[in-house]
Structure 1
Amino acid sequence: MRDLGAGVRYGVQGQRWVSRRGKRVGIGLLPALVTLVLYAAALVVLGFFAGDVVAWATPFADGWDSPWQGVFRAVLTALLFAGGLFLAVVTFAAVTLLVGQPFYDALAEQVDESEGGAPEAPDVPLWRDLLISARDSLRVLLWVVLFGVVLFVLGFVPVIGQTVVPVAGVCVSGFFLAVELTGVAFQRRDVPLKERIRLLRGRLLLTLGFGVPLALAFLVPLVAVFLMPGAVAGGTLLVRHLLPAEPSGPAAGDEPPHPEPEKRDAAGLTRPAPPAG
């Protein structure tokens, strides 16, 4: 349970770090706001045309008697819209991170520098950074969809579907949200996605303590916009916990210690210095 509490604290510390530097990170709200507007427009369009899409996809129900045709297509329409809403929620962080990649990378760097021991980021062009982020986000999305399908099917099982499945769904959403939010800091450390997931799964309670509260908060669209910069800052603090900075060696330019001067005997011949002690 200590790890669970520590994960929650990293989320709070990230928001606190951002709140103390409001003027410097206020622009970080813009990528989340742009993403929110795009998603809202897409959901409105889906709401208008979901019924037509379902009718087009179920021509076999055209000859069904009333009310069965209406009930069947109404259920499918609701499921289609719910699926679109679920997809929007689970991909919001990933799309926002892509839209604001340069800002969030700079934010993670600022967090590292403020805490000390900032790693040197890989020297790769921005387009390659975006390509890696997009590829990793797509792989995470496939995992989320896979878990979503399994949980959807289990939702029809009596008792389990009404108790265990909702809790499992929140935990899955929280875990993969943590994977996304720590991605910027992990990428700055050149850690591949497979290794990131292994590290986060190895400290599962810590990861869930960080990701689950944010996943619940992100269900409220405007809250997600305002929490996004702090969530990335908290993800960076979490990565620093999982991958603590190695102690640095001698600073560049330091000269090595001088060897013990040679001794000369009375005849002027050199002899080795006596061993210490």
Structure 2
Amino acid sequence: MRDFLTGVRFFWRGLTILLRSPRLLLLGALPAVLTTALLTGGLVALAVWIDDLATLATPFADDWAAGWRTTGRVTAGVVLFGAALVIALISFSALTLAIGAPFYEMIAEKVEDDLGLAPGEELPWWRLLGLGLRGGLVLVLRSLLFTIPLVIAGFIPVVGQTVVPVLLALVTAWFVALELVAVAFYRRGMSLREQRTTLAKRRGLALGLGLPASLLCLVPLAAIVVMPIAFTGGVLVAHEALRSDPAK
């Protein structure tokens, strides 16, 4: 619990740091604006075509009675859209960090300098872009192994309305946290596996960062401001995880 509260504190400390430097807040918000527009457009398109997609996903229901067929396809549509929302939330940070690689590199460097943290290697934007896209894709695919079964389990009476939402929130928070610390870890030459291993030793710290970030990103347009704040908190969490890892 102490680690979790430390992670939450680092998230809000990110806000205080950026409030002292509004220019960095603006730089971090610009990529989030573009990503928000892209993902919102995708979700709107999905909502428009959800009936057709649900029909394609349930060809076995063609011979069912009308009532059962409608129930099955509505359920399929809800599952598809729910899974898309979770994927969008997890991929939001990956896309934002990749699109805004030069901006977030600048923020990480500025935060480290101002707080007297050990500086990392300065990476060219194209390398950060490649690392961010590749790492983001891997994390999104990994997240599907957990989120899709949980979304389906959400239709189980009682459990689906109590336990499943909590597990889904924690899983999403974990993957979002991995995205938020990635730039600080990449600047230290760490692979995605090394990042995951290092952060897993302080899982409560990661969840304390990722949970408020992922929940606040559910508020329409809030992600535009939340993203640079959470990223700044991610730099602090990365340094804390590295400080407590004797292997590093």
Q: Map of 1:238-257 to 2, 5 A cutoff?
A: 238-244=237-243
Change in Cα spacing, 1:23 to 1:89, as seen in structure 2 (3 Å) is same
Equivalent position of 1:174 in the other structure: 173
Structure 1 residue ranges, 4+ long, deviating more than 4 angstroms after superposition: 156-159
Equivalent position of 2:189 in the other structure: 190
Change in Cα spacing, 1:144 to 1:158, as seen in structure 2 (3 Å) is same
Q: Which amino acid aligns with 2:47?
A: G
> For structure 1, which runs of at least 5 residues remain unmatched after alignment?
246-277
Equivalent position of 2:113 in the other structure: 113
Q: Which amino acid aligns with 1:29?
A: A
Which is further off, 77-86 or 189-198?
77-86
Change in Cα spacing, 1:131 to 1:23, as seen in structure 2 (3 Å) is closer
Secondary structure (helix, strand or coil) at the match of 1:220 reads coil
1:181 is displaced (CA, Å) by 0.3
Equivalent position of 1:84 in the other structure: 84
Conserved 8 A contact 2:120-2:184: no
1:57 is displaced (CA, Å) by 4.0
Equivalent position of 2:132 in the other structure: 133
Aligned partners of 1:165, 1:204: CA distance in 2, in Å? 19
Q: Map of 1:1-277 to 2, 5 A cutoff?
A: 1-121=1-121, 124-156=123-155, 159-244=158-243
Q: Deviations over 1:48-98 (max 9, x none)?
A: 111122224444434443223222222222222222222111211111111
**TM-score normalised to structure 1 length:** 0.81
1:156 is displaced (CA, Å) by 5.0
Secondary structure (helix, strand or coil) at the match of 1:196 reads helix
1:232 is displaced (CA, Å) by 0.8
Conserved 8 A contact 1:185-1:236: yes
Q: Deviations over 1:34-61 (max 9, x none)?
A: 1111111111111111112222444443
1:154 is displaced (CA, Å) by 4.1
Change in Cα spacing, 1:24 to 1:97, as seen in structure 2 (3 Å) is closer
Aligned partners of 1:104, 1:181: CA distance in 2, in Å? 10
Higher helix share: 2
1:137 is displaced (CA, Å) by 1.1
Aligned partners of 2:196, 2:73: CA distance in 1, in Å? 39
Change in Cα spacing, 1:235 to 1:86, as seen in structure 2 (3 Å) is same
Conserved 8 A contact 1:90-1:177: yes
Which is further off, 207-216 or 53-62?
53-62
Aligned partners of 1:57, 1:88: CA distance in 2, in Å? 20
Task: Give the number of the structure whose alpha-carbon radius of gyration is greater.
Answer: 1
Which is further off, 158-167 or 199-208?
158-167
Number of residue pairs aligned between Structure 1 and Structure 2: 244
Aligned partners of 2:69, 2:156: CA distance in 1, in Å? 25
**TM-score normalised to structure 2 length:** 0.90
Conserved 8 A contact 1:36-1:221: no
1:151 is displaced (CA, Å) by 2.2
Q: Which amino acid aligns with 1:225?
A: I
Change in Cα spacing, 1:73 to 1:158, as seen in structure 2 (3 Å) is closer
Aligned partners of 1:61, 1:163: CA distance in 2, in Å? 29
Q: Which amino acid aligns with 2:137?
A: L
Q: Which amino acid aligns with 1:6?
A: T
Q: Deviations over 1:147-199 (max 9, x none)?
A: 11332354455544333222111111111111100001111111111111111
Change in Cα spacing, 1:69 to 1:164, as seen in structure 2 (3 Å) is closer
Change in Cα spacing, 1:120 to 1:217, as seen in structure 2 (3 Å) is closer
Aligned partners of 2:217, 2:201: CA distance in 1, in Å? 25
Conserved 8 A contact 2:99-2:129: no
